[in-house]
Amino acid sequence: MAYVVLSACIDQLDQSCVEECPVDSIYQGQRKMYINPVECIDCGACELACPVGAITLKKKAPAEERAFAEDNAFFFETILEGRDAPVGNPGGSAAVPAIGVDTPLVRDYVG
């Protein structure tokens, strides 16, 4: 089960998690980071590196954060605003520039 990035990451974009990810599975939206569930190897390095505690295993996400846990995979599966295809599984975030757009849940989030 992959790790996910929850709402505490919104408008933080610290990227300490990116530096620690050994498989480069963390991608940058406009307001939040997202972990690719297919590319993630469940090592937990990102969770330890996150300064705001926004990363957890999907199955451990608190009930009030479940929408964000599910939304993490949606980022890779759906066609996001301004794009012609889903992000998919490009084989690591270094292979693509910052995505620069978020899912509607994150885009419209007011904390």
- Categorize the per-residue pLDDT at 111 as very low, low, confident or very high, splitting at 50, 70 and 90: confident
Domain membership of residue 48 (yes or no) is: yes
pLDDT at 95: 87
Domain membership of residue 105 (yes or no) is: no
> What is the SS3 assignment for 46?
helix
Domain membership of residue 72 (yes or no) is: yes
pLDDT at 107: 96
Residues of the domain holding 62: 3-92
Q: Residue 46's domain is classified under what CATH number?
A: 3.30.70.20
Residues 13-59 have pLDDT tens digits of 999 999 999 999 999 999 999 999 999 999 999 999 999 999 999 99
Domain membership of residue 101 (yes or no) is: no
Whether the model clears a pTM of 0.85, i.e. scores above it, the answer is yes
pLDDT at 36: 97
Helix (H) / strand (E) containing 77: helix 66-77
- Report how many domains make up the chain: 1
pLDDT at 85: 95
